[in-house]
């Protein structure tokens, strides 16, 4: 039993080479998998989310399309709705982007998504701006979220009908009710039971 250690290892390897090869393949597979996963994780870049504070840099009626693209970068989606160009940027909600409406290449309307974590409610707006002027309903928001319109502030607040939790805030130029109904409110309903 005074065999040198090298010959013992050689005999062991000759006898158990299939197990050693299998063990080596498993270890190699694990190392390659971890390396590929870390490389893939580094390549994935999430869509840039426009922070709500950044949206407040936009001046309704003044900020132009070129300034938007320069400030916020590549847009997520661009299309036309009721004759107005709409640019969507990612928000904190994956399926509900912030929407910026342009009229003659100038920002006319912003529909901002409000993060649930903000715990913002309709009373916050009423305490600052006073009572809203009237209520409208948008089929895209559903019956549970009427729009409370503050004309003098150029705001529409979509708040839950029972909890008053704010889901969306619209910013637009200050205007009278007739102008609102002919522009921004043209596709809105006066009651939730109306057919859109």
Work out how many domains the chain is built from and give that number.
3
- Within this chain, do residues 128 and 193 fall inside the same structural domain, yes or no? yes
Mean pLDDT over the full length of the chain: 83
Same structural domain for residues 130 and 85? no
DSSP 29: H
Neighbours of 77 (CB within 10 A): 11
- 12-66, pLDDT tens digit by residue? 778 888 888 888 889 888 988 887 777 655 544 444 444 444 677 888 999 898 8
Output the CA torsion sign for 131, 134, 137, 138: negative
Expressed as residue numbers, the domain containing 186 is 114-196
Q: Does this model's pTM top 0.95?
A: no
State phi, psi for 32 to the nearest 5 degrees: -65, -40
Q: Are residues 124 and 196 in the same domain?
A: yes
41 and 51 in a common domain: no
Are residues 118 and 192 located together in one domain of the fold? yes
State the pairing for strand pair 166-171/106-113: antiparallel
Same domain, 9 and 81: no
- Examine the domain organization and report whether 139 and 99 are in the same domain: no
């Amino acid at each position: 039993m005074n065999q040198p250690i090298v010959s013992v290892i050689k005999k062991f390897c000759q006898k158990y080479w299939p197990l050693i090869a299998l063990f080596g393949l498993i270890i190699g597979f694990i190392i390659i998998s971890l390396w590929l996963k870390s490389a893939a994780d580094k390549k994935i870049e999430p869509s840039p989310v426009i922070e709500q504070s950044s949206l407040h840099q936009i001046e309704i009626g003044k900020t132009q399309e070129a300034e938007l693209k320069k400030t916020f970068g590549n847009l997520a989606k661009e299309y036309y709705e009721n004759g107005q160009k709409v640019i969507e940027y990612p928000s904190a909600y994956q399926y509900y982007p912030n929407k910026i409406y342009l009229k003659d290449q100038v920002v006319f309307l912003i529909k901002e998504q409000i993060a649930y974590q903000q715990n913002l409610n309709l009373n916050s707006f009423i305490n600052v701006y006073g009572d809203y002027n009237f209520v409208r309903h948008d089929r895209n928001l559903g019956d549970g979220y009427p729009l409370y319109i503050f004309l003098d502030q150029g705001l529409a607040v979509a708040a839950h009908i029972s909890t008053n939790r704010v889901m969306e805030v619209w910013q637009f130029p200050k205007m009278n009710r007739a102008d609102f109904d002919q522009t921004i409110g043209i596709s809105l309903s006066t009651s939730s039971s109306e057919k859109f």
